[in-house]
Amino acid sequence: MRKLILHAGRHKTGTTTLQKFLYKNPEILEKYGYQYPRYAINGDAHHELGAALNKHGKSVSDVQSKNCLVNHSRGLNQEIDKNPELTPVLSSESLQQCDPETVKKFFCNFDIEVVLYIREETGYLLSAYAQRVQASNYTGSMSDFYKSTFARDYRHFVISWSEVFGSSFSLKRYVRKDLINHDIVHDFVTGVLRIPKDEIDSTYKHNDENPTLTADLLAYKLLINQNTNIPSNHLKLLYSSFNKLALEPEFELVKIPEVMLNDIRLRFQKSNNWIAQEFFNRDYLFEPFTDDLRIGENNVTNNDLNKVRAKLVNLHPELESSLPLPDTSLGNF
């Protein structure tokens, strides 16, 4: 049976950076016996396929859903079959939301290896919250986001995938200092695909595709989100502008309140310890503290917000009329 490698996330584990490398380097993949199909690609990942397989996706009838999956199966196989000697590699973090049984049935003609990375919850929360604020009009606090998003621990998730795929399920810890070359691309491409590091280094330059916003940038984006009169074309400019500013930080990283930090660790400790012992033969899943974690309250002043606004106007003067003027400190968020 032909092998297929399925990278299914999770979110906020360097997925965009990895997917961009896989998409842009078909020659390297082919040289070592792999292909990254172009079918069902949205951006650089197979998000269209993930959405179709996700039972929690768009509300469609059973007939529509089955027809959609049949069409995707036909289209994907048509491309894959053109190069039967190559092992397909598919990637989308949206697959993490799918029913594993549905995924297995869809790829029933393949010997699937599923690869999933999981990230320490506090770092995941900080990054996911900043991304939600940046990529949408979300106006909730970090506490609101935590209460609405972190509803279930990793144990249930891991068990559901491991029971379906057994030894073909590979769970990895997204801890940067423990990744090969401290980088997700090297860890997956060298560690999973067994492509030599030198081959990767010939074309790859590490760049965080979704840099996390610093506290001042996040606070100002929250202020923007409270303003509903910003034109859609300006919102697109703002997304790229915030990314650019995040790559050249002049302010401190977002902090997590100590009360929330302690709640997260107590809440997930039992689940994480079980996973650590069952899958990694160690006493704990993640180190209790990491170098890039900041603990405390996020205090951002009007002066800080005005500086961010000035930087955005400097990048794109046409934004000036759309950007709100801060009239009061956001304080903690």
Name which of 28-42, 281-295, 299-313 the model is least confident about.
281-295
Helix, strand, coil % over all residues of the chain, rounded to 5: 55, 10, 35
Segment 226-254 shows an average pLDDT of 87
Write down the domain spans for the chain.
Answer: 2-119+174-201
> pLDDT tens across 181-216, in order?
999 999 999 999 999 999 998 888 777 667 889 999
Gap between the Cα atoms of 187 and 174, Å rounded: 10
pLDDT band at 94 (very low <50, low <70, confident <90, very high): very high
Report the phi/psi class of residue 3: left, alpha or beta, with left for phi > 0 and alpha for psi in -120 to 50: beta
Inter-residue contact 285 to 272 (CB < 8 Å): yes
% residues pLDDT > 70 (the chain) = 93
Helix (H) or strand (E) holding 312: helix 302-315
Asked if residue 248 has pLDDT above 60, the reply is yes
pLDDT band at 292 (very low <50, low <70, confident <90, very high): low
Enter the CATH code of domain 2-119+174-201: 3.40.50
Token duo for residue 150:
């972190």
> pLDDT tens across 115-132, in order?
999 999 998 999 999 999
% residues pLDDT > 90 (the chain) = 69
